[in-house]
Structure 1
C-alpha cells in the first residue's frame, strides 16, 4: 500500500502530521502576538542589567523635556528619563502579572482537582466557597484585599491571585469530572495506583490544554488589573515605577507634557494586544473544536 493510501486509511497517522504542519506554519496572530511579547519581555529583561539612565535619578534641570535623541521618550516632572522608567515598569508589571497568574493556576488546579475527583461533601463545600468568591468581580475583590493588607508588590500578587483562583477552579473541576470516569483512569485504579498518583500522573496532564488557554487570558487580566490598582494608588509604592503608576502621575501634566501619559498607555495597549493575539492562536491550536 502506498504512503498516500496508508494516510487515507489511517486517520490517526495524520494527526502528528497536522500538528507538525501547524507549528511549522504558525498563523498570523501567533506571529504578531508572539513577536510583540518577545519585544516586551526582552525590554523587561534588558532593564534588569542596563537602562539608558538611572530610573530613579532626579535632574530638575531636565524637567519636562520632550522626546529627543537624548531622551527618546522624554523626561517627567522630576527630570527622570521616561524610557528608563518604562523599562523598569515593564519588569515590575510583567513580573507581578506572572506571579499572580502562577499563584492562581497552582491554587486553582489543586482545589479544582480535589473537588472534581473526590466529589461528595468535599466538592460541595469547596464549590460553595468558590461560588461565593465568584460573586465578587475580580478587581473589586483585589481592591478590598489591598485595602486590608496595604500597597506592596507581593500584596498585589496575593490579591490578584486570590481574585483569579475561582475561575481556574471551575475550569479544572469541569475537566476532572469528565476525565475521572474514562477507561485509563479506571485502569490506573485497577492496577493498584493510589488516588494521588492517579490524579497527578493521569488526570493533571489532560487538564493542561484548557489551563494554558485560560492562563494566557488571565495574564492579560492581571496586567490590566495591576495597572488599574497602580493608577488608583494601591499598587507598588513609589519610587518604584509601573506602567499604571506612570499613567497616574501624568494626569496633572497631560496638557503640557502629553508624552508622559501617551507612552505608558501605548505600552499597556500593546501588551494586551500581544497577549490576546497569542492567546487566540493558542486556543486555536489546543482546542479540538477550533481545529480545521
Structure 2
C-alpha cells in the first residue's frame, strides 16, 4: 500500500510538474507567435519546423498549446484560490459561531449546491460576461459552496475540543482561536479538496471554452483549440489530439496527487 501511494504521488507530481513547466514557459516564450497567422503553412503536418503541426490559419500548434497552458492553468489556479479563500473564511465563521449566521450561510450553500457546477457557471457567465475574468468569478462562485461545507463540517467537532476550550479560558479572542488553533487543523482536508478541485475547474473551463463561452478567439486555451479542431478532424487530426492529450495528462496527474494526499492525510482512508 505504501509503495503504491509513493508511486502515485511521484507519478502525479511528475505529470503536474511537466504541465506547470509548460505553463511557465508559455508565459515567457513560445517558438512562434501563437496569435499571428501564416497562411503559407496552414494545416501543415508535424515536422521539424512545426513539431505539432499548424492550424487552419498557419499558427504553430505547439506555441498555442504552451500559450494556452498558461491561460488554462492560470484560470484554474485563480479559481481554486478564490473558492478556497472565500469558502474557508465563510466555513470557519459558520462552523464556529453557529446560530443564525450558520443557518443563513447553509441555506445559501444548499441552494447553490442544488445546481451542477458547470450549469451554475453557465448562468453566472450570462451575468458577468464570457471572458477570462468572468470564467474565474463564475467558477469560483460555483465551487465555493463545496469548500464552505467541508470547512464547516471540520470546524464543528474542533470547536468543542479541549485545546480550544483551554485557549478560550486563557482569554484569547475568537479570531485568535479560529486562525491559530482551528484553521491549521483544517489544512489536511482542504489540501485534498483543493487538489481535486483544480482538476474539476480545468475540465469545466475546457468545457466552457469548447462551447464558445470561455476566452474569446484568437486567444488559445486547450478547450477552444479542441472546439476549433472539429472541422479538420480528418485532414488535420493533430489539432484535436494534442490539446486533448494535455487535458488528459493534467487530469491524470491531479487525480493521482489527490488520491495520494487523501490516503496520506485522511484518517478514515488510513484506517481502511
> When the two structures are superposed, what TM-score results if normalisation uses the length of structure 2?
0.97
How far apart, in 2, do the equivalents of 1:25 and 1:177 lie?
33
2:143: which partner in 1? 164
SS in 2 for 1:166: helix
Give 1:83's aligned residue: 62
Q: Distance in 2 between matches of 1:290 and 1:68?
A: 48
Gap regions ≥5 residues in structure 2:
none
- Residues 1:247 and 2:218 are matched in the alignment: no
Q: For 1:114-153, what aligned pairs fall within 5 Å after superposition?
A: 114-153=93-132
Residue 185 of structure 2 is matched in structure 1 by 206
Distance apart, 1:49 and its partner CA: 1.8
Shift of 1:23: 10
**Per-residue deviation, 1:24:** 11
Which segments of 5 or more consecutive residues in structure 1 lack a partner in the other structure?
1-21
Give the secondary-structure state (helix, strand or coil) at the position aligned to 1:291: helix
The structure having more radius of gyration, on CA atoms, is: 1
* CA displacement 1:79-130 (0-9 Å, x = unmatched): 0000000000100000000000010001101111111101111111110111
Per the alignment, residue 9 of structure 1 pairs with none
Out of 22, 28, 37, the residue aligned to residue 58 of structure 1 is 37
Greater shift, 254-263 or 176-185, is seen at: 254-263
2 CA distance for matches of 1:25 and 1:143?
39
Superposition RMSD in Å: 1.5
Could you report, residue by residue, the CA deviation over 1:47-68 in whole angstroms, capped at 9, with x for unpaired residues?
A: 1221111111211010000111
